[in-house]
């Protein structure tokens, strides 16, 4: 409700041209809340309000905006004003923005940015996408071993405003090799003449620049840190990653996995800002592939056309068998994919996972078959042979689905694919084909269909 009230107030002040009051109102608001208000406005009003923002707030508000809004503002401002925004952003945020912009715009912005900003951005742009190096920030507090606590505090006062965090300071030697860390609270309670080398923590946990961002998130989860240093192959400190970046990574990775599991090509844009054509392009490739693969089920039905003609009642239970198999496979695949993403399961655990899922499948299959057997005889009034065919197929379908659902994601990860690709839609198609084959093989033998 607070966000709606702020939006109405800002719109009214803008409409009545009370710009001084509007500026005062926004000075009292949090930068993230202002960004929410701006996102609700049309482009013309968004730009007007952004220009009215106090200069010390503009960069903070800008960093909370969606990429589309950021690009609109940057391209609407003069080159000098746009470069000023870039200069006031943290280097990692500025890099993320520039990666999404046309090359000619990036060239102009960097040409007008100050040399330090330009150097930091160019440094971050060297690293592969989704690596630790690409998401780190180069704004941190570094100290020397031979500094005193008093010297260290003076340095924090000097560079702290431009640093991502001052809670943890990083101790470097003459070659900029990371040799330790010291928390701000230790500096505050230590004597002014104490030497940093004597009070620093030497057992430092760090991240390599080439580490995948998903593994970075796992490291934060494992150690419960709010910031971690990033080093190159020679253990020289080149940046830090903070927990707010990790929250963004987790959201991005979770969204990507969900889209892959639903057979959608991942997108970086929010749903409401993705056009119909873009959405179509993201969904069609997998739909085409799954449609083609589903054609196998039609081929199987054609092959066993005689059996269907002789026992037409068998047709009625095909949807139930296929749906149950698909659901069972989906349960197994989602569980295994989640375990793989959290490093709870590894490929070497394959036999243990398979044995466990087979036992679960038998229990589930027998339970479902028992319930279905009663229904077939009492409600559907089918003969005992047909009931046996359906129930035996149900056990087999659940068993096949669980095995396929647990093994395909593990095999995918082993050969370098994202396990999420092997989620429900893909597994369902495989299970449907195998279940139909088993169904008609059992029917052929038990019902003596030639």
- Is the pLDDT at 385 greater than 50, yes or no? yes
Task: Say if CB 247 and CB 228 are below 8 A apart.
Answer: no
Distance CA 374, CA 377 (A): 5
- Is the pLDDT at 153 greater than 90, yes or no? yes
What was the pLDDT predicted at 17?
A: 85
Distance CA 117, CA 88 (A): 9
**Segment 311-331 mean pLDDT:** 85
Query: Which of the pair, 30 or 302, is modelled with greater confidence?
Result: 30
At 181 the three-state DSSP class reads strand
What was the pLDDT predicted at 402?
A: 92
Closest CA to 408 of 345, 341, 342, 329: 329
Closest CA to 238 of 130, 120, 152: 120
Query: Which of the pair, 299 or 167, is modelled with greater confidence?
Result: 167
**End-to-end Cα, the chain, rounded Å:** 70
**């392009």: which residue's tokens?**
281
Q: How many residues does the chain have?
A: 450
What order of strands is seen across the sheet that includes strand 207-208? 207-208, 227-231, 237-242
The token pair that represents 44 in the structure block: 């013309």
Task: Work out whether strand 237-242 and strand 227-231 pair parallel, antiparallel, or are unpaired.
Answer: antiparallel
Q: Which domains does the chain have, with CATH numbers?
A: 2-129 (1.25.60.10), 142-252 (3.10.580.10), 271-446 (1.10.357.20)
Cα atoms in the Cβ-side hemisphere of radius 13 Å centred on 285:
11
The token pair that represents 277 in the structure block: 């054509």
What was the pLDDT predicted at 424?
A: 58
Q: What are phi and psi of 190, to 5 degrees?
A: -90, 155
- Is the pLDDT at 256 greater than 80, yes or no? no
Query: Which of the pair, 264 or 73, is modelled with greater confidence?
Result: 73
User: pLDDT grade, residue 138 (50/70/90)?
Assistant: confident
Closest CA to 408 of 387, 422, 397, 388: 422
Distance CA 232, CA 448 (A): 70
**Segment 253-268 mean pLDDT:** 68
Query: Which value, to the nearest 10 degrees, does the dihedral of the CA atoms of residues 109, 111, 113, 116 take?
Result: 130
What was the pLDDT predicted at 372?
A: 93
User: pLDDT grade, residue 3 (50/70/90)?
Assistant: very low
- Is the pLDDT at 124 greater than 90, yes or no? no
User: pLDDT grade, residue 10 (50/70/90)?
Assistant: confident
Helix residue ranges, H only, 28-90: 31-39, 43-52, 55-64, 67-76, 79-88
- Is the pLDDT at 180 greater than 90, yes or no? yes
**Segment 98-110 mean pLDDT:** 75
- Is the pLDDT at 42 greater than 80, yes or no? yes
User: pLDDT grade, residue 262 (50/70/90)?
Assistant: low
What was the pLDDT predicted at 307?
A: 64
What was the pLDDT predicted at 190?
A: 93
Task: Say if CB 332 and CB 426 are below 8 A apart.
Answer: no
What was the pLDDT predicted at 425?
A: 65
What was the pLDDT predicted at 423?
A: 62
**Segment 299-321 mean pLDDT:** 76
Average pLDDT across the chain, whole number: 84
Its pTM stands at 0.61
What was the pLDDT predicted at 1?
A: 40
What was the pLDDT predicted at 2?
A: 47
The token pair that represents 112 in the structure block: 């007008």
- Is the pLDDT at 235 greater than 80, yes or no? yes
What was the pLDDT predicted at 194?
A: 94
- Element holding 207 (H helix, E strand): strand 207-208
The 10s digit of each residue's pLDDT in 58-103 is 888 888 888 888 888 888 888 788 888 888 887 778 887 777 777 7
The 10s digit of each residue's pLDDT in 185-220 is 999 999 999 999 999 999 999 999 999 888 898 899
Mean pLDDT highest for which of 31-35, 370-374, 429-433?
370-374
What was the pLDDT predicted at 393?
A: 93
What was the pLDDT predicted at 346?
A: 87
Burial call 416-429: b when 16+ CB within 10 Å, e when fewer: eebbbbbbbbbbbb
Task: Say if CB 350 and CB 407 are below 8 A apart.
Answer: yes
Q: Residue 177 pairs with which residues in a beta bridge?
A: 236
Distance CA 266, CA 252 (A): 10
Cβ-in-10-Å burial (0-12, 13-18, 19+) of 192 comes to exposed
User: pLDDT grade, residue 231 (50/70/90)?
Assistant: very high
**Segment 326-335 mean pLDDT:** 86
What was the pLDDT predicted at 264?
A: 64
Which contacts qualify for 346-351: CB closer than 8 Å, 24 or more apart?
A: 347/410, 347/413, 347/414, 350/407, 350/410
- Residue 197 CA: distances (Å) to CA of 10, 146, 202, 430: 52, 6, 9, 61
């Amino acid at each position: 409700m607070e966000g709606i009230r702020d939006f109405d107030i800002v719109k009214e002040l803008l409409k009545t041209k009370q710009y001084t009051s509007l500026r005062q109102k926004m000075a009292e608001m949090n930068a993230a809340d202002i960004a929410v208000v701006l996102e609700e406005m049309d482009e013309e009003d968004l730009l007007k309000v952004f220009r009215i923002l106090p200069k010390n707030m503009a960069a903070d508000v800008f960093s909370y905006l969606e990429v589309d809004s950021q690009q609109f503002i940057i391209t609407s401002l003069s080159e000098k004003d746009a470069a000023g925004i870039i200069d006031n952003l943290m280097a990692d945020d500025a890099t993320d923005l520039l990666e999404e912009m046309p090359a000619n715009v990036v060239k102009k912005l960097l040409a007008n940015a100050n040399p330090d900003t330009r150097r930091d951005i160019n440094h971050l742009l060297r690293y592969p996408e989704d690596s630790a190096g690409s998401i780190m920030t180069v704004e941190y507090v570094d100290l020397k071993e031979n500094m005193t606590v008093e010297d260290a505090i003076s340095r924090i006062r000097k560079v702290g405003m431009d640093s991502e965090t001052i809670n943890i300071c990083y101790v470097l030697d003459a070659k900029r090799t990371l040799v330790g860390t010291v928390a701000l609270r230790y500096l505050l309670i230590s004597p002014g003449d104490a030497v940093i080398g004597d009070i620093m923590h030497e057992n430092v946990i760090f991240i390599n620049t080439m580490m995948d961002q998903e593994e970075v998130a796992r490291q934060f989860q494992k150690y419960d840190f709010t910031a971690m240093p990033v080093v190159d192959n020679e253990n020289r400190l080149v940046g830090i990653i903070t927990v707010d970046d990790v929250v963004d990574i987790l959201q991005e990775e979770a969204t990507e996995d969900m889209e892959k599991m639903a057979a959608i090509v991942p997108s970086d844009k929010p749903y409401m800002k993705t056009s119909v054509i873009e959405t179509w392009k993201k969904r069609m490739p997998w739909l085409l592939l799954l449609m083609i693969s589903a054609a196998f089920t039609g081929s199987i039905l054609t092959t066993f056309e005689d059996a269907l003609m002789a026992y037409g009642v068998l047709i009625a239970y095909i949807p139930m068998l296929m749906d149950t198999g698909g659901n069972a496979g989906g349960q197994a695949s989602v569980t295994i994919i989640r375990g793989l993403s959290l490093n709870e399961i590894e490929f070497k655990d394959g036999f243990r996972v398979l044995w466990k899922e087979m036992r679960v499948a038998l229990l589930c299959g027998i339970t479902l078959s028992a319930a279905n057997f009663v229904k077939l005889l009492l409600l559907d009034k089918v003969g005992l042979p047909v009931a046996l065919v359906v129930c035996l197929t149900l056990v087999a379908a659940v068993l096949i689905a669980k095995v396929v659902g647990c093994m395909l994601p593990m095999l995918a990860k082993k050969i370098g694919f994202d396990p999420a690709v092997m989620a429900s839609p893909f597994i369902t198609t495989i299970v449907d084909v195998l279940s139909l084959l088993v169904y008609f093989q059992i029917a052929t033998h038990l019902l003596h269909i030639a």
